[in-house]
Amino acid sequence: MNTIYADMTEGIDRKLMQKAGDILLSGGLVAFPTETVYGLGGNALDAEASRKIYAAKGRPSDNPLIVHIAEFDALEQIVTKVPQEARDLADAFWPGPMTMILNKNDSVPASTTGGLGTVAIRMPDNEIAAEMIRAGGGYIAAPSANTSGRPSPTTAQHVKDDLDGKIDMIIDGGPVGIGVESTIIDLTEKIPMILRPGYINMEMLRGVLGEVRMDPGLHFNDPNFHPKAPGMKYRHYAPKAPLTIVEGPQDRVVEKIRSLTAQKESAGGKVGIIATDESAAAYDRGIVKSIGTRTEEITISMHLYGILRDFDDLGVDVIYSEAFDTPRMGQAIMNRLIKAAGHQVIRVFSAGGMDVKHYDKLIFVSESDTITSPMAEAILSRHFLLEDILILSKGLVVLFPEPINPKAEAVLVSQGLTMKDHMSDPLDEADFDDRTLILTITNAEKERLLQDFANPINVFSLSEYIRGEGEVHDPYGGSLGDYGQCFRELDAQVERLAGILQREELN
Ligand code: TXA
Ligand code: MG
């Protein structure tokens, strides 16, 4: 197939836009720019067009597509009901980098939604995209326009590299502005749930919706936990060379990457380094690329996928990257980077200028120390490999010692675990020392702890420490089923924690 290349970097070309519309209306495929990444568009209401998209990308067809619209009113035609939350979100963030999941009606073919009864919808904030959607009938299914398993495309050249000859047209609108895919928010859940983090972050969504949660399935490494967005389970965004992220205090990160690079190079390896404008000059070996500046985080998200592609082209043997926990988009950026790294993360610490090998003691902290923290203690204690760490649980508000909550105990027993003679115990100022790691179960508990104590050190929330994305929900007052759910959430997080603690010992 001859792929038409339509240059619209200087503005929309009416004739070519008409042509794009004709291609889409007759079931063909057109790649186009959006504000997030380039999309591969086909008529969303045409089952055959969706099948072509899967074929061109080499993508599993159980992975549903996002339907792109250009007018809010288009929404009503494809869903069973437009809830008030959807109107509020659209008012706040559309057109923009946010995708909503709603219940679909019969006009959307099963091949577009991978057989699901729900549909993902987004109105992109890009003039070329909006015009093309209108010209193509108003409903354009579009995954990122890359070959499945490669980093998403952020320039038309990336699209060409992957799909030239396999699709009808590529519209070039210049490099994208955001660089990571849209935030996906599921409105079919009782509490709206983020299925994929993006530019529109949790705080912004909470500002509109009130309560919002992160899909607990985004926790990695646990075969019992599946992310709700089918696409999040695949090994995405993988560069050809193994990628390792190094995180910790900046000077220690640079030092660690320098020594890893020296080691690898002296063994004859070709090393790629992902640095920033601030740090690039600190590396004297390896192929160093700056991803952007830490003072403007969008420059980092914008170049993330491109830099991974660059290293593919350079044929490096390994890639080392700094971590980018930027304030607004850190979650979205690190979600993609960690996936690209297949979860290879090395942590370095600042204690006395040397890596801390391991802690002697770990204390899980919850508010009352009767439910979540003793459960976490029981779960982690099952990992015999950690037997040289003393594992305890304590509480922030413990007026008198109490046994573990009976429902929490019942759930533990059903999982073959017990809490022999556990009594709640108050956290004490003397608990903070160099060799003790303190993990609160939730972020709110961490904030409270930091307020209540004079000299807290080594304090993290559990999800922060494991780089998870969800929070464990306190089941207090709920049914046994809620306690079971809490156990599964904790189990997923603690599983990851165990892996990290073991890695730290080995580093
Ligand atoms: O920014 C974006 O959203 C880009 C641009 C092109 O708009 N598109 C994009 O599409 O990232 P794609 O196909 O690469 O990712 C779609 C994600 C997948 O993880 C998929 O599993 C999820 O959305 N998804 C789609 N429909 C869903 C549904 N009904 N329920 C749950 N997840 C869904
Ligand atoms: Mg994709």
Cα distances from 249 to residues 254, 323, 360, 506, in angstroms, run 9, 10, 22, 19
Ligand nearest to the CA of 65: 1
Q: Which of 206, 199, 467 is nearest to 325 (CA)?
A: 467
Whole-angstrom CA distances from 500 to 342, 345, 347, 446 are 14, 9, 9, 20
Flag whether pLDDT at 225 surpasses 80. Answer: no
User: For residue 29, how far is its CA from the centre of ligand 2 (angstroms)?
Assistant: 16
Q: Atom 15, ligand 1: which residue's CA is nearest?
A: 143
Q: Cα(305) to centroid of ligand 2, in Å?
A: 11
Nearest-atom index, ligand 1, CA of 184: 23
Looking at the CA of residue 124, tell me the nearest atom of ligand 1. 7
Q: What is the pLDDT of residues 164-213, one digit of tens each?
A: 999 999 999 999 999 999 999 999 988 899 999 999 998 899 999 998 88
Ligand sitting nearest the alpha carbon of 181: 1
- Give 226's pLDDT tier (boundaries 50, 70, 90): low
- Give residue 155 CA to ligand 2 midpoint distance, Å: 14
**Are the beta carbons of 205 and 213 closer than 8 angstroms?**
no
Mean pLDDT in the chain? Answer: 90
As a whole number of Å, the CA-based R_g of the chain is 24
Query: What is the distance in A from the centroid of ligand 1 to the CA of 231?
Result: 7
Helix axes 156-163, 297-314, angle to 10 degrees: 30
How many CB atoms lie under 10 A from the CB of residue 47? 14
Give the ligand at the shortest distance from the Cα of 64: 1
Atom number, ligand 1, closest to the C-alpha of residue 97: 1
Output the pLDDT for position 503. 58
- Residues 433-454 pLDDT 10s: 988 999 999 999 999 999 999 9
Q: Which ligand is in closest contact with the Cα of 63?
A: 1
pLDDT in tens, 4-60: 999 999 999 999 999 999 999 999 999 999 999 999 999 999 999 999 999 999 988
Q: In 108-118, which positions are buried (b, 16+ CB within 10 angstroms) versus exposed (e)?
A: bbebbbbebeb
Biggest CA-to-CA distance, the chain? 77
Amino acid at 330: G
- pLDDT band for 351, please (50, 70, 90 cuts): very low
More confident residue, 409 or 342: 409
The alpha carbon of 76 and the centre of ligand 1 are apart by a number of angstroms equal to 20
Q: Measured from the CA of 181, which atom of ligand 1 is nearest?
A: 1
Q: Give the Cα separation of 274 and 460 in Å (integer).
A: 26
Ligand found nearest the CA of 196: 1
Residues at CB less than 6 angstroms from ligand 1 = 34, 36-37, 39, 63-66, 99, 101, 113, 116, 118-120, 122, 124, 142-144, 181-182, 184, 195-196, 228-232
Residue 160 Cα to ligand 2 middle (Å) = 16
Ligand 1 closest atom vs CA 99 = 3
Q: Please state the atom number of ligand 1 nearest to the C-alpha of residue 38.
A: 6
Distance 365 CA to ligand 2 centre (A): 38
